A and B are shown apart, each in its own frame.
Chain A
Amino acid sequence: MERVILIKYGELTTKKGNRNFFVRTLYENIKHKLKDCHVTISKDISRMYIEFEESELSKVLDGINHVFGIHMYHVAYKIPTDLETMKEEIVKILKREKFKTFKVETKRSDKNFPVKTLEMNPLLGSHILKNINDIKVDVHNPDILVRLEIRENYSYFYIQYYYGLGGYPVGTQPRGMLMLSGGIDSPVAGFLALKRGIKIEAVYFEALPHTSLEARNKVMELSKKLVNYTDEIKLHVVPFTKIQETIYKEVPSNYCITIMRRMMYRIMEQLARKRKAFAIINGESIGQVASQTLTSMYVINQVTNMPVIRPVACLDKLEIIDIAKKIDTYDISILPYEDCCTIFVPKHPVINPNLEDAIKFEKKFNFEKLIEETVDQTQVISITDQKTCDYQELL
């Protein structure tokens, strides 16, 4: 019996006029993730159908589990729409399952089908009861829910359901720039931004030789984990050494972090404008460190009008770690390499900075020029979800 994957859209269905755009984006994203599988994908107003080869099922499901915008999906049996065939096949499949109670739910999209929905449920139910021993109907809390969607030509029968990632298809929102440091929080922030359909580009502030190449490698590895949920992430590597050293020299040590974050936001905004992005995304979580108190956020945020999205702002560290483990970034994040936020850390960073003071300290050096240079020297590395091997010849 041929099986197909039946995808339900969930939140997408609330998008009235834009629905086609959302469904089309989802379709393209699924098609991209499954391009190495032998599948045929078709879509209609409420469902997407994926015909696949049985040997590739786990590969296909793995692909689907990395696409946002899927609320729920089923691995359904495709049966010719014919009453007797359907009855016979459904019993045959159910005989393989272990259950004591069941309930039948039928949906009849094919209004030409002779049996009406309300008649179909008892008809199928009694046929199942007659052919399988020791089972009962339980409409409230059944062990398995037997579902049949009757359509023209072919109908779909399924008992299992799986939850997809939810959210919106990546690409249904414009670009956003993610500050990716190598810690635990920022990859999670990136994941959550992708979940709302934002196409992210990552920005890494590098302070060679104070930070190591291994730290950059770590950020690349994190980007590779995130790119599993989209098709490409451009990683902008910002040479931050000069700015950081200048801050360290010119600014009182307790304000170093505040000023550094203000410089980062300014650079983020410029990169965003260059890349036609509409938001800055980062992994700030309220109160976690000195630069993430509300007063710090207020003072730092003054340098830009661009929306700053902080997906994990209100999550506890443990909640963030849970997500990091789920998306497989945790083990990479905890690798012990210095990044630009952990070097030059003063003993007592200011917890409640003052905006006037911050502005005053910044006047001590020509940061506009430094920022311009830094943005100009920023390198871009493209990270894609292609499983190409860097060492094709060797391996």
Chain B
Amino acid sequence: MIYLDYSATTPVVPEVLETFCKTTKNYIGNPNSLHKLGMESRHLMDTATQQVADLFGVKKEEIIFTSSASEANNTALLGVVESYPKRNKKIVTTKLEHSSVLETVSYLEKKGYEVGYVKILKNGQVDLDDLQRLLKEDPVLVSIGWINSEVGIIQDMKAITNLVKQYPKTLLHVDGTQIVGKVPITLDGIDLFSCSAHKFFGLKGIGCLIKKEKVELEPLIHGGKSQTIYRSGTPALALIVSFAKALRLALTDLDQKYHYVQKLNQFLKEELKKHSYIVINSDDTCSPYIISISIPNIKPETMLHALDEKEVYISTKTACAKDTSRSLTLETLQKAKEITTSSLRISLSYITTEEELQQFLKILKECYHALNLRKEEY
């Protein structure tokens, strides 16, 4: 098996799973119970939350655990607009966002919010002049993903935070799902930040929203005190503890892992370039963890299934997008139709090996010729 779909999800590392199992077995109390068992659970939860806060460089009270990054994104967007009803009913985002941001924004549009999509430059970067133009209208919220999940474009967050900072009536939400555990970051100047454990070798079912202290937020799920008042439901202690562990492990030797993946990325791109039928959509400024390619003659689903048969696993664009016929990200980058309708995403991790990539390249080539040949027969 060759797994190259780490941006869709990662396998869980054994230590994290062990943490989950041990916590589930040994800490049966509800962290909000007043008895000893409850207190033991609460103490463990507090310690785990503090560890997450320390790793992100924020305060413990700023951590809100959710079920997923999608829930974190929904909570951030819906919660903020509800908390600031007197501010301008305008939201700014980009067309490069994950569907959990774009769909929520569309929902708000139906509810009467005006949505401004920032212009994206040809290289995928947010057009800062256009962002400034939109900011002048004092939108209540700007939501921009740090790394686009399909092509891997990394936004210049320092420039964006510096710009948004100048508008005190605008909050900045950043979807950091594809950056945590991959690139070192600082959350200075960011008001709300989402991420999810299963993208950095943690378990599925736990995400996190970081909400800076001064930001007000109306919860999506009401019900009073839980891990925080911003998200009710009995705290998922074992998932929370496993999140803390996964994050710590992911951030250990991050620089080394990054450089290793960068090398893999260069190798893969060099090899892909040797095939004239492949167009590489991710340039060298993109995240090394994601490589988007297009094979114009071949339907991406067909290629995916052909690879699937050989136990090679990649994605057509992102796993979450609803409309599968074309890539909105590539369209936004003003790519030609044959590119936007034939894109595939290969995503790497620090456990990917060069041998796997060699094997993948060989199979990709075989599949291409097999599929292309069939096509000519018609």
Which residues of A are in contact with B by a Cβ distance under 8 Å?
212-214, 217, 389-391, 393-395
Chain B residues positioned under 8 Å from A393 (CB to CB): 19, 22
Contact between A394 and B43, CB atoms less than 8 A apart: no
Contact between B241 and A214, CB atoms less than 8 A apart: no
Contact between B44 and A391, CB atoms less than 8 A apart: yes
B111 on the A face (CB < 8 A): no
A389 to B241, CA, bound (A): 13
Contact between B47 and A391, CB atoms less than 8 A apart: yes
Beta-carbon contacts of B122-150 to A below 8 Å, as 1s and 0s? 00000000000000000000000000000
Contact between B39 and A214, CB atoms less than 8 A apart: yes
Interchain CB contact (< 8 A) of B48 among A212, A213, A217, A395: A395
* B18-61 interface with A by 8 A CB criterion: 19, 22-23, 34-36, 39, 43-44, 47-48, 51
A395 to B23, CA, bound (A): 10
Contact between B19 and A395, CB atoms less than 8 A apart: yes
- Known A-B contacts: A212-B34, A394-B19. Give 14 more (CB < 8 A): A213-B35, A213-B39, A214-B34, A217-B43, A391-B44, A393-B22, A394-B22, A394-B23, A394-B245, A395-B47, A395-B51, A395-B244, A395-B245, A395-B248
A389 to B43, CA, bound (A): 12
List 19 interface pairs A-B (beta carbons < 8 Å), by A numbering.
Answer: A212-B34, A213-B34, A213-B35, A213-B36, A213-B39, A214-B39, A217-B43, A389-B47, A389-B51, A390-B43, A390-B47, A391-B44, A391-B241, A394-B19, A394-B22, A394-B23, A394-B44, A395-B19, A395-B245
How many Cβ-Cβ contacts under 8 Å join chain A to chain B? 34
Return A160 CB to nearest CB of chain B, in Å: 22
Contact between B39 and A217, CB atoms less than 8 A apart: yes
Chain A residues positioned under 8 Å from B22 (CB to CB): 393-394
A390 to B23, CA, bound (A): 14
Residue ID in chain B nearest A337 by CB atoms: B34
Chain A residues positioned under 8 Å from B245 (CB to CB): 394-395
A217 to B48, CA, bound (A): 16
Interchain CB contact (< 8 A) of B241 among A213, A217, A395: A395
Beta-carbon contacts of B199-212 to A below 8 Å, as 1s and 0s? 00000000000000
Closest 10 CB pairs of A and B: A394-B19, A213-B39, A395-B244, A395-B245, A394-B241, A395-B51, A391-B47, A395-B48, A391-B44, A212-B34
Residue ID in chain B nearest A217 by CB atoms: B39
Chain A residues positioned under 8 Å from B241 (CB to CB): 391, 394-395
Residue with the highest number of chain B CB atoms closer than 10 Å, among A213, A391, A393: A391
Return A324 CB to nearest CB of chain B, in Å: 17
Residue ID in chain A nearest B242 by CB atoms: A394
Chain B residues positioned under 8 Å from A217 (CB to CB): 39, 43
Residue ID in chain A nearest B51 by CB atoms: A395
A389 to B51, CA, bound (A): 9
Beta-carbon contacts of B44-82 to A below 8 Å, as 1s and 0s? 100110010000000000000000000000000000000
Chain A residues positioned under 8 Å from B35 (CB to CB): 213
Chain A residues positioned under 8 Å from B36 (CB to CB): 213
Chain A residues positioned under 8 Å from B34 (CB to CB): 212-214
Residue ID in chain B nearest A213 by CB atoms: B39
A394 to B48, CA, bound (A): 9
Residue ID in chain A nearest B19 by CB atoms: A394
A214 to B40, CA, bound (A): 10
Chain A residues positioned under 8 Å from B19 (CB to CB): 393-395
Chain B residues positioned under 8 Å from A395 (CB to CB): 19, 47-48, 51, 241, 244-245, 248
* B233-255 interface with A by 8 A CB criterion: 241, 244-245, 248
Chain B residues positioned under 8 Å from A394 (CB to CB): 19, 22-23, 44, 48, 241, 245
Residue ID in chain A nearest B43 by CB atoms: A217
Return B294 CB to nearest CB of chain A, in Å: 43
Residue with the highest number of chain B CB atoms closer than 10 Å, among A214, A389, A393, A394: A394
Residue ID in chain B nearest A389 by CB atoms: B47
Residue ID in chain B nearest A212 by CB atoms: B34
A395 to B243, CA, bound (A): 9
Residue ID in chain A nearest B245 by CB atoms: A395
A393 to B47, CA, bound (A): 13
A213 to B34, CA, bound (A): 8
A217 to B248, CA, bound (A): 26
Return B57 CB to nearest CB of chain A, in Å: 11
Return B31 CB to nearest CB of chain A, in Å: 11
Chain A residues positioned under 8 Å from B47 (CB to CB): 389-391, 395
A214 to B29, CA, bound (A): 14
A393 to B43, CA, bound (A): 15
Chain B residues positioned under 8 Å from A391 (CB to CB): 44, 47-48, 241
Return B51 CB to nearest CB of chain A, in Å: 6
Return B90 CB to nearest CB of chain A, in Å: 35
Chain B residues positioned under 8 Å from A213 (CB to CB): 34-36, 39
A250 to B44, CA, bound (A): 42
Residue ID in chain B nearest A216 by CB atoms: B39
Return A296 CB to nearest CB of chain B, in Å: 33
A393 to B244, CA, bound (A): 12
Return A388 CB to nearest CB of chain B, in Å: 11
Return B297 CB to nearest CB of chain A, in Å: 51
Chain A residues positioned under 8 Å from B248 (CB to CB): 395
Chain A residues positioned under 8 Å from B51 (CB to CB): 389, 395
Chain A residues positioned under 8 Å from B244 (CB to CB): 395
Chain A residues positioned under 8 Å from B43 (CB to CB): 217, 390
A392 to B195, CA, bound (A): 24
Return A59 CB to nearest CB of chain B, in Å: 13
Return B66 CB to nearest CB of chain A, in Å: 20
A212 to B33, CA, bound (A): 12
A395 to B248, CA, bound (A): 8
A395 to B35, CA, bound (A): 23
Return A252 CB to nearest CB of chain B, in Å: 32
A395 to B22, CA, bound (A): 11
Beta-carbon contacts of B318-340 to A below 8 Å, as 1s and 0s? 00000000000000000000000
A391 to B18, CA, bound (A): 13
A337 to B361, CA, bound (A): 63
A97 to B39, CA, bound (A): 52
A189 to B48, CA, bound (A): 30
A213 to B47, CA, bound (A): 17
A391 to B42, CA, bound (A): 13
Return A88 CB to nearest CB of chain B, in Å: 34
Beta-carbon contacts of B84-124 to A below 8 Å, as 1s and 0s? 00000000000000000000000000000000000000000
